[in-house]
C-alpha cells in the first residue's frame, strides 16, 4: 500500500504533476482550485484527527489527500489497524466504507458521496444469498460460502469467509469444504475454478467496468506494441485473461510493474490504477485498455472537503450484521496470513 502523501503542492506544481494524465482536463485554473482544496482538507484532517483511505481507482487529485492508497485487501487491513484517528474518510465505494466501519464501530466512518455504489455489490442481496445457500446445502452438506469483498456487509455476514482478488484461490483452498458457493463475481469465480480442485458454484454477477473490456481491444493494442506486458485483473472475462502475461490484483500490478525489467505495460483494469502507475513509476510506459468506474469517480475533492466540514455521510451498521461481517473478514485475514 502506498503511504501518506508527500508535501502539499502549489497549483503550478500540481499542474505539472497531473497534466501528464490523459483523460482528465487538468488546466492551470483547475489545479489552482484543487491546490487550495487540498490544503484545506489537510488542515481539517489535522484539526479533526481524521485519516483518508483511498482506493487505487480514485481520481488522481484524491491521492494528494490520502493517508493510504491501496486495493480492497490492503484497505481492509489498514482500516483494521487504525489507532490514532477519530474519523476515517473513505474515498472509495459504499461497501468499502462499510468494511472500515466493521473494524471501527467506535469511530466515525464517512463516505463523501452516498451514491458511490457498485454494480457488482448490487448483484447479490442477503435474501437471495440466504435462499441459494439453503438450496445448495441440501445437495452439498459441506457447502461453504466465500464472498468477494465487493459485496454489502449483510452479504458478508452470511458468508463463511470473504476474499479479495489477491487471495481468492488461497481462501478457497484453505477453507474446509469441497463445494464453494462463490459470490458475486462470475469472472473471478471462473478464474479461481481454473486454479483449484474444489468445485466452485458461481453467482451471476459481474463488475460492469471489467466485464465490458473485450479480447479484441487487448489484441489490437498487443499488435501495435509487440513485447508489451499485458497485466489483467481477474474480474475480466476468461478470454481476456487468456491473452494476459499476468493476472493480478491492482496492488500486485503495482509491484509487478516496479520489479519487472519490462518498460511497456498494458494495464487491463479500471483507469485509476494506470494513473497511479504513471505518477509513481516514471520512466516506464503504461498503456490503457481500461474503462472508468462511474461509482469510483463520484468521489471528488469537493465532496471530500464537504465530508470533513459537515461530517457526512456517516456509515451505520446493525450490530448483528457488523459482527457477522467482521467474522467473515477476520476469517479471510487468518486464512490469507
Q: Which of 60, 14, 20 is nearest to 33 (CA)?
A: 14
* Shortest Å, Cβ 116 to ligand SF4: 8
Q: Residue 182 interacts with ligand SF4 (CB under 6 A)?
A: no
What CA–CA distance (Å, rounded) separates 236 from 249?
11
Three-state SS for 200? strand
Report the residue from 62, 111, 158, 209 that binds ligand SF4 according to the rule CB under 6 A: 209
Sheet bearing 179-183, strands edge to edge: 161-163, 144-148, 179-183, 199-202
| C-beta neighbour count of 266 within 10 angstroms | 25
Tell the residue number behind the cell numbers 435462499, with chain if given.
Answer: 131
Report the residue from 168, 207, 257, 329 that binds ligand SF4 according to the rule CB under 6 A: 207
What CA–CA distance (Å, rounded) separates 72 from 263?
27
* Shortest Å, Cβ 234 to ligand SF4: 12
In Å, how far from its chain's centre is CA 4?
18
Three-state SS for 51? strand
C-alpha cell at position 243 = 491473452
Q: Residue 296 interacts with ligand SF4 (CB under 6 A)?
A: yes
Q: Which is nearer to ligand SF4, 14 or 111 (CB)?
A: 111
Q: Residue 295 interacts with ligand SF4 (CB under 6 A)?
A: yes
Q: Residue 120 interacts with ligand SF4 (CB under 6 A)?
A: yes
Q: Which residues pair with residue 183 across a beta bridge?
A: 147
Q: Which residues pair with residue 230 across a beta bridge?
A: 266
Report the residue from 293, 325, 332, 335 that binds ligand SF4 according to the rule CB under 6 A: 293
Stretch that binds ligand SF4, among 62-70, 78-86, 139-147, 204-212 (CB under 6 A): 204-212
Task: Mark 40-59 with x for binding to ligand SF4 (rule: CB under 6 A) and - for no binding.
Answer: -----------------x--
Q: Residue 71 interacts with ligand SF4 (CB under 6 A)?
A: no
Task: Mark 263-292 with x for binding to ligand SF4 (rule: CB under 6 A) and - for no binding.
Answer: -------x----------------------
* Phi and psi, residue 125, nearest 5°: -110, 160
Stretch that binds ligand SF4, among 18-26, 33-41, 116-124, 236-244 (CB under 6 A): 116-124
Q: Please give the helix or strand (H or E) that residue 202 lies within, else none.
A: strand 199-202
Q: Residue 119 interacts with ligand SF4 (CB under 6 A)?
A: yes
Three-state SS for 25? coil
Q: Which is nearer to ligand SF4, 26 or 148 (CB)?
A: 148
* Shortest Å, Cβ 263 to ligand SF4: 27
Q: Which chain residues interact with ligand SF4 by CB under 6 A?
A: 57, 93, 118-120, 150, 207-209, 270, 293, 295-296
Amino acid at each position: 500500500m502506498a503511504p501518506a502523501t508527500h508535501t502539499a503542492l502549489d497549483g503550478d506544481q500540481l499542474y505539472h504533476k497531473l497534466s501528464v494524465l490523459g483523460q482528465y482536463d487538468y488546466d492551470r485554473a483547475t489545479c489552482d482550485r484543487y491546490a487550495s482544496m487540498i490544503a484545506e482538507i489537510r488542515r481539517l484532517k489535522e484539526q479533526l484527527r481524521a485519516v483518508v483511505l483511498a482506493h487505487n481507482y480514485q481520481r488522481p487529485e484524491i491521492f494528494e489527500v490520502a493517508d493510504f492508497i491501496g486495493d480492497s485487501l490492503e484497505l481492509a487491513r489498514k482500516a483494521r489497524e487504525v489507532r490514532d484517528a477519530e474519523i476515517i474518510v473513505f474515498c472509495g465505494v459504499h461497501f468499502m466504507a462499510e468494511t472500515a466501519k466493521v473494524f471501527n464501530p467506535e469511530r466515525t466512518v464517512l463516505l463523501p458521496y452516498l451514491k458511490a455504489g457498485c454494480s457488482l455489490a448490487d448483484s447479490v442481496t442477503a435474501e437471495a444469498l440466504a435462499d441459494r445457500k439453503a438450496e445448495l446445502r441440501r445437495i452439498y452438506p459441506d457447502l461453504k460460502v466465500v464472498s468477494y469483498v465487493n459485496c454489502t456487509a449483510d452479504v458478508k455476514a452470511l458468508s463463511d469467509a470473504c476474499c479479495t482478488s489477491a487471495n481468492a484461490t488461497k481462501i478457497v483452498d484453505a477453507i474446509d469444504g469441497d463445494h464453494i458457493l462463490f459470490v458475486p463475481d462470475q469472472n473471478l469465480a471462473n478464474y479461481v475454478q481454473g486454479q483449484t480442485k474444489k468445485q466452485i458454484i458461481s453467482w451471476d454477477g459481474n463488475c460492469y467496468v471489467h466485464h465490458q473490456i473485450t479480447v479484441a481491444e487487448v489484441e489490437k493494442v498487443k499488435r501495435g506494441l509487440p513485447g508489451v506486458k499485458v497485466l489483467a485483473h481477474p474480474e475480466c472475462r476468461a478470454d481476456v485473461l487468456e491473452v494476459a502475461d499476468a493476472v493480478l490484483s491492482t496492488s500486485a500490478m503495482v509491484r509487478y510493474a516496479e520489479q519487472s525489467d519490462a518498460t511497456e505495460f498494458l494495464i487491463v483494469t479500471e483507469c485509476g490504477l494506470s494513473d497511479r502507475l504513471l505518477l509513481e513509476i516514471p520512466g516506464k510506459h503504461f498503456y490503457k485498455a481500461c474503462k472508468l468506474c462511474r461509482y469510483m469517480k463520484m468521489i471528488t475533492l469537493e465532496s471530500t472537503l464537504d465530508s470533513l466540514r459537515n461530517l457526512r455521510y456517516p456509515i451505520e451498521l446493525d450490530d448483528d450484521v457488523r459482527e457477522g461481517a467482521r467474522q467473515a473478514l477476520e476469517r479471510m485475514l487468518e486464512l490469507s496470513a
